[in-house]
Structure formats: C-alpha cells, structure tokens
C-alpha cells in the first residue's frame, strides 16, 4: 500500500478485489519476483511519482557525445589547423573526438604519411585530450578516439585570438618512427609542426 503496509500474500483475484473495495488499483511493481510484488495505490499518484523518478534519473545520467573529425594524409596545414581548432572546441565542451584519416587510391602505398599526419594531430591536441589506444587501421582508414582531459588537467579553452595558427615552413613534421621525406615538387610547403598553440598556463 502507499503507506508501506504489507498485507501479505494474496491470490491475484483476492488482491484485485481488495484494491477495488478501497477504490484503488492494483499495480505490479516487481513482476520477476517470486511471488510477484504488487501495490495497492492511487494510479494517478503512482504514475506521477514514476514520471518524477524518471526525470530525476535523467538528470543524473551523463551522456557523452562523440564528434567526428576527418583528415586526409596530405592535408593542407591550413585545413589541419582549422580541424585542430574544432577538435579543441569539442574537447573543451567535454565531448570525445573520433579522428578518421581516410586513404584514397594510391595513397595506400604511403600509409606512413597518413600515420605521421594523425600522430601529429594527437601530439598537437595533448593539452586538451588524450587517447587510450594507438591509432588503428580499419580498411582504408586510420581511426583514433580522443578523450577530453579532466577539467583540472586540461589547458584553458583558447579565445579566438589565441587559437592555433599556422606559419610558413619548409619541412613537414617528423614523428618518431615515421620516415617522411621533404617533397621536391612543393607539396605541403607548410609544416604541421609550425602550428602555433597558446602557451600553457
């Protein structure tokens, strides 16, 4: 009953008759219990309490959003910086960032360039996020999930004036273990490593 009083074990017909005599309804609370647990209650009041409970549970439920950033193996430094800034914004809002680097056609022959690019992205974003696992290959893609750093360990969210900017540079960034040579045809003239980030506090 609503006051918590236990009436004992009844046959379903007897329980329904008793609820009707009290001008209340019989509501099944725990159908999987043995025997099933029911409650004699005012259904309108019971329904209101359940809605209120679900609302409170929803407030305490933390929903983590995942945003996606797509890269190309030979991404231009300007585009790299643009996507880096977006990823920083997402991480500062407590979201996770899935970075997907896609290969096309003959780019699969030089996967090390793609690995170098995605590792540079991870390195640049370290003040705001980190990944629990190394980038993994999935078909024609390399994927990594970046988690936001805890608020007390995360670098401040950069103001528009403090956002990462790129400058001219002749060589692309060399990641340890990646054998990347400077192109002779002027390809990727600006280096990912030339990206300037705001100083840590």
Q: Which helix H or strand E contains 39, and what residues bound it?
A: strand 37-41
| Nearest 10 degrees: Cα torsion 110, 116, 118, 121 | -150
Cα 37 to Cα 137: distance, rounded to the nearest angstrom: 52
Cα 163 to Cα 82: distance, rounded to the nearest angstrom: 9
pLDDT tens, N- to C-terminus, the chain (201 residues): 555 677 778 888 888 888 888 888 888 888 888 888 888 888 788 788 888 888 887 777 667 789 999 998 888 888 888 899 899 999 999 999 999 999 988 888 888 888 888 888 898 899 999 998 888 888 889 999 999 999 898 988 887 666 655 533 333 344 444 333 333 433 344 444 555 555 555
Quote the Cα angle for 187-192-159, to 5°.
Answer: 135
Cα 115 to Cα 68: distance, rounded to the nearest angstrom: 18
CATH code linked to domain 12-58: 3.10.20.80
pLDDT score, position 144 = 93
pLDDT score, position 64 = 76
Task: Tell me the CA end-to-end span of the chain in Å, nearest whole number.
Answer: 60
pLDDT score, position 183 = 39
Residue intervals in the chain for CATH 3.30.110.10? 66-194
pLDDT score, position 178 = 39
| Crossing angle of helices 111-124 and 77-92, rounded to 10° | 40
> With contact defined as beta carbons under 8 Å apart, do 72 and 188 qualify?
no
Cα 143 to Cα 77: distance, rounded to the nearest angstrom: 20
Residue intervals in the chain for CATH 3.10.20.80? 12-58
Domain 66-194 has CATH 3.30.110.10: yes
């Amino acid at each position: 009953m609503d006051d918590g009083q236990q009436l004992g074990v009844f046959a379903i017909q007897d329980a329904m008759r008793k609820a009707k005599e009290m001008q209340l309804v019989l509501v099944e609370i725990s159908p999987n219990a043995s025997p099933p647990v029911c409650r004699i209650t005012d259904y309108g009041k019971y329904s209101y309490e359940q809605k209120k409970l679900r609302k409170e549970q929803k407030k305490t439920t933390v929903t983590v959003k995942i945003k996606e950033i797509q890269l190309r193996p030979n991404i231009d430094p300007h585009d790299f910086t643009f996507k880096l800034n977006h990823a920083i914004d997402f991480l500062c809002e407590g979201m996770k960032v899935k970075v997907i680097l896609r290969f096309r056609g003959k780019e699969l022959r030089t996967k090390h360039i793609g690995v170098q690019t995605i590792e540079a992205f991870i390195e640049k974003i370290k003040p705001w996020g980190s990944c629990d696992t190394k980038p993994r290959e999935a078909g024609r893609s390399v994927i990594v999930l970046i988690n936001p750093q805890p608020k007390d360990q995360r670098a401040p969210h950069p103001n528009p004036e403090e956002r990462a900017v790129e400058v001219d540079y002749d060589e692309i960034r060399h990641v340890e273990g990646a054998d990347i040579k400077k192109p002779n045809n002027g390809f990727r003239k600006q280096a990912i490593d030339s990206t300037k980030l705001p100083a840590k506090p």
